[in-house]
Amino acid sequence: MMPLDASQTTPARAGSAGRPWALVTGASAGLGESFARELARRGFNLVLVARRGDRLAVLETELVREFPDLATRAVALDLSTSGAVARLSASVDDIEIDRLVCNAGAAMTAPLLAQPGAALMANFDLNARVVLELCRGFGAAMVERGRGGIIVVSSIVGFTAVPGWALYSASKAFAATLALALAEELRATGVMVQALCPGHIRTEFHARAGIRALWPMRPDEVARQSLAMLGRRQVFVPGLFNRFCVFGLRLLPRRLGARVYGWVLAGLRRGAA
**Residues that are catalytic:** 168
Query: Quick check: 236 and 63 in contact, CB under 8 A?
Result: no
3-state secondary structure of 35: helix
Residue 235 β-bridge partners: 195
Contact 62, 88 (CB under 8 A): no
Query: CA–CA separation, 170 vs 157, rounded Å?
Result: 8
Say whether 202 sits in a helix, a strand or coil: coil
**7, exposed or middle or buried, with CB in 10 Å at 0-12, 13-18, 19+?**
middle
CB neighbour list of residue 73: distance below 8 Å, 6 or more residues apart: 9, 10, 11, 12, 13, 46, 47, 48, 91, 92, 95
127 to 46, 96, 121, 232, 254: CA distances (angstroms): 22, 24, 10, 25, 22
* Spatial contact of 105 and 126, defined as CB atoms under 8 Å apart: yes
Contact criterion met (CB below 8 Å) for 146 and 190: yes
Of 192, 187, 152, nearest to 173 by C-alpha is 152
